[in-house]
Structure formats: C-alpha cells, structure tokens
A and B are shown apart, each in its own frame.
Chain A
C-alpha cells in the first residue's frame, strides 16, 4: 500500500441553504479544495461523491454533482454510510490511491436536508436503524435513539444534564468564531437546560440541527505529492472502521458505541499511537451525550468518566485533547454526507496551523483524530492524520 496525503480541502458555509441546489452547494466545497491544492479538474483521476441523499429530490446525486463541478468524465462513485458517509467517501478515495488504482482522488460530501419539513426529516432519520422492527411499530427518531443512550449513561454513571450541557457550551464557544458554522453564537448551561425537550432527557440544545452543507478533500500518492511540490501535505496515517447491529435492541449495552471502540483500536494500532498522543480531535457530537461517550470509547478517559472529563475542561484547549474546535456537529451543523469530510477540513487546517487565534490547537506532535459515526453507532470511522 502506498502512503497517501491530503493536499486540498474545502467546505461550504453550513446552515439552512435555501439559496442553492445540491450541485451548487457541492461546488462551493470542490472549488475551494481545487484552489487549496492548486489543481484543476484535469489533475483529478476520480471523484467519489458521498451523500446520504434521503431527503433531497435528486435521488441519484453523484452524477449531477459531478457534472456541475466539471468532473463528468471522472467516473463518479456514490458512497452512503448514513452520517458517516463523508468518512466512507474518504476511505474509498484513500484506498484507490493507496492501492495504485489512481494517483489523485477527490472525495466530495454533500447533503441538502432542508428541502423537506422537520416532521419528514425526523421520519427519515428515525428509519436510520431498522424500519420494520423499530420505526414501524414505535416511531423512533434519531434524537430518541441517542436519548436511550443518554438515559442509560446517566443512570449507570451519574452523568448529569449539566455535564451534557457543558458539551454544547464548549462547542458553541468555537462555533461562534467559525464563519462557516450554522450557529455562530455562544450559549450558557442555563440556555441548554431551559431549551424545549426533543426526546427526554435530550433537549433542543443537546441536539445537532438539520443542516445543508458540503465539504471536499483531495488525496494523492506520495509520488504525486512530490511531483506537485505540495508544501504541507497532511498524511492519512490510518483509517479504522466498524459497524454494529441495525436493531438497537440487539446492542450489548446503552452506555457505549462498540463501533467507535473497534474502529479506534484499529486506527491506533495501524498508526502506532496511543489515545494520549492525539492533540486535536473532531468527534461525532450529533448529540451532547455522543461527545461524552466518544471521550470514553476513543480512550481519552475511562468508561463512565466522560461527564467529569468535560467538567474538568480536559476536552478544551489546554486540556488533555482539544475536541471540536470547529464547533462540532452541534455548533457547525450536521449535513450527513458532508460531516466526515468537514472534520477532515477542520483538522487539516489545524495541522497546518492556519486557524485564527483562539481556535488553533497548540501542537507538538501534530497528530489529529476524526471520529465519525453513522446512525446510532451503526457505522464507525476513526481517521488519524499527521502533518
């Protein structure tokens, strides 16, 4: 397998983007990634389009996205892994380059989620598990699935609603400074606690929003990187992957995501690092409880101590690992197909030390981790980057 580096990244402004179609939105990220790499469409061998595509009128989004961005002959491959779609697209692009199938590949992640109303969106999200045995009978929603984990985590470990709220407070602190975030303001613990219940014990501010957005990354082989004279490539050291049962009733417990644990162990082993080596991370905080579980399942802190970890500011700049300096899914928004690649976008900028004051992680080892979950731990991807 050949060494693979990231040479260009782009991201659209996230939010309710009623001003653009899916292909126009994708171009915002693709155009920026090409410019960032100093390449044109001719230099790209293949394009991988990641889109969950369950809420848009464009049911086969890869082809229109590719045509609009000027890749109509570049053999689009459409990838879907629910909310982990972006990471799955990166994994495909990585493997195509690592294997020698191509030299330079583009991974695009894009999602338009606001073309349908909220009730429809909840009905689509609630099918992100097993329609027949769960949604059909019980009207599960995506917030409800994570709320089942929150209830169990709180009962088992004494995790509090205030500790959950602190995750949102931290992430909004950084989202407020991120011009591409959906929600660019700070909140208090009280704001979170007072917000309306969505799926008890989760309240509105415990939940990521319904977001439109796009992100893209260009990956290349070590030879191509040398030929192109890329100044600061960011190397993909490892990609760990895992999955879990579609039926939530078949899970081993409701306090951790097995897909995170397996994917993390695989990624750490491949990269030859320990959890404590990670300096900056983007973790999958689709809900506040998800970030707490991620601290534990990624090995940043032992199981059950995630609430304490945020309380002691260990996941903030100056703590053990700086988590979600983009604002996370909570602050930045969570456009399913784009999310995994938006994590990569943020971490590449962090590793290049291009972030503005107050949002740049201090780095010594230059090791970053992206943790992207699809569904409720249905898919798990852990990607380790190093400058």
Chain B
C-alpha cells in the first residue's frame, strides 16, 4: 500500500498517470414551460406558479401539479420583500464561479414560499442575522449571460 508519511500522517499516493481523452458536455436546457420565469427575471420580477385546480403554489415554478394531477397553472408575482432564513458565504468556489469574489448564498421567506438568491453589498457576513429584512431584485451576471435574484438588507449596513 503506497502511503506517504508526514508528521501529520495523511494518505496521499501519487503514482504515474496518463491523461484521459477529454469529454465536454454542453447541455441545452428546455425552458418552454417556464419561459415566463426567465423573462420575468429580465424585468426584475419573480414569478411562482399556482395550480388553478387545488391552489398549491410552486416555487421554483413548475407547470404540473403532482398533487391534484392538473396542468392548469397560473403565474403569480412574488412580493418584493422577504425575511432572511439562512445564508453562507462561499469561499471555496466551484468550476464556473472561480472568477467571482466570495459570494453570499441566502434563502429568504417571501410570502408563502422560500427563495434562494445572492445577498449583495455585504462586507462582513458575521453582522448579518437570520430574521433580517431583505429587498428582492434581479441582477444581470455578464460572465454567465444570465439574470439572478439578489437580496439587499433593508434596514442595516453590514
């Protein structure tokens, strides 16, 4: 068994390797049933769906209601404010996000649903508290050519 001994013993065996033939995935994601959501983000609006048959509300939106079996859903716009439920600042960033500054992922209670977004304009995450009020908007992210939901603290500076 190849084991390298250090003062803090860690199993790390590095042998000779060869490179694989690379594979590149480029997915095309269908959005025809949720296009209203994607268009809404461009206008600063956040939409959920509501089943016309049983009243169930879906966020993220979905076109089919598995509970009553209906596919008759309507689009409803979510309120522009929410309450912070939890958050984290991501320092170790994944492939595709390496060039962003460490970002804060947050979840806010907005009306009857929970919404994920980036909490922006925060210097010190330790000063942010669960229960803080946030204002929702959308922001264009040029690096990915996409709109995302962003939160800002309503009554304080951190």
Contacts and interface: CB of A to CB of B under 8 A. Distances in A.
A358 interface: no
A254 B15 contact: no
Interface in A131-166: 132-141, 143-144, 147-152, 155-156
Contacts of A248: 107, 116
A15 B10 contact: yes
Contacts of A365: none
Interface string A182-220: 111100000000001111111000000000000000000
Secondary structure of the A side of the interface? Answer: mixed
Given A123-B96, A139-B93, A19 B86 contact: no
15 contacts: A14-B11, A17-B11, A18-B13, A135-B94, A139-B105, A143-B92, A148-B107, A151-B130, A155-B131, A184-B9, A184-B11, A185-B10, A248-B116, A249-B60, A249-B114
Interface stretch (A114-122, A265-273, A318-326, A338-346): A114-122
A155 B129 contact: yes
Question: Which of A118, A137, A147, A150 has the most chain B CB within a 10 Å cutoff?
Answer: A137
A200 B88 contact: yes
Given A139-B100, A144-B105, 15 more contacts: A13-B3, A15-B3, A16-B14, A18-B12, A18-B15, A19-B2, A19-B15, A139-B94, A139-B97, A148-B105, A151-B87, A199-B90, A200-B88, A249-B59, A333-B11
Contacts, number: 147
B94 A141 contact: yes
Contacts of A200: 88-89, 91, 125
A248 B146 CA distance: 21
Given A17-B13, A57-B20, A139 B114 contact: no
A247 interface: yes
A133 B60 contact: yes
A150 B89 CA distance: 12
Interface string B89-129: 11111111110100101010000011111100000010001
Interface centre among A57, A123, A138, A247 (most CB of B within 10 A): A138
Contacts of A143: 90, 92
Interface in A246-261: 247-251, 254
B59 A201 contact: no
A4 interface: no
B105 A140 contact: yes
Interface size class of A (residues with CB under 8 A): 35 or more
Contacts of B28: none
A137 B148 contact: yes
B149 A137 contact: yes
B78 to A, nearest CB: 12
A122 B93 CA distance: 7
Contact of A152 (B11, B95, B130): B130
B13 A16 contact: yes
A298 interface: no
A15 B12 contact: yes
A50 interface: no
Interface of A: 13-20, 57, 115, 118-120, 122-123, 125-126, 130, 132-141, 143-144, 147-152, 155-156, 181-185, 196-202, 247-251, 254, 333
A199 B88 contact: yes
Contacts of B20: 57, 115
Contact of A198 (B2, B92, B130): B92
A181 B12 CA distance: 11
A150 to B, nearest CB: 8
B1 interface: yes
A182 B116 contact: no
Nearest to A249: B114
Contact of A15 (B11, B15, B85): B11
Nearest to A139: B97
A198 B89 CA distance: 8
Contacts of B115: 249
A14 B10 CA distance: 10
A152 B117 CA distance: 16
A374 B103 CA distance: 25
Contacts of A196: 91
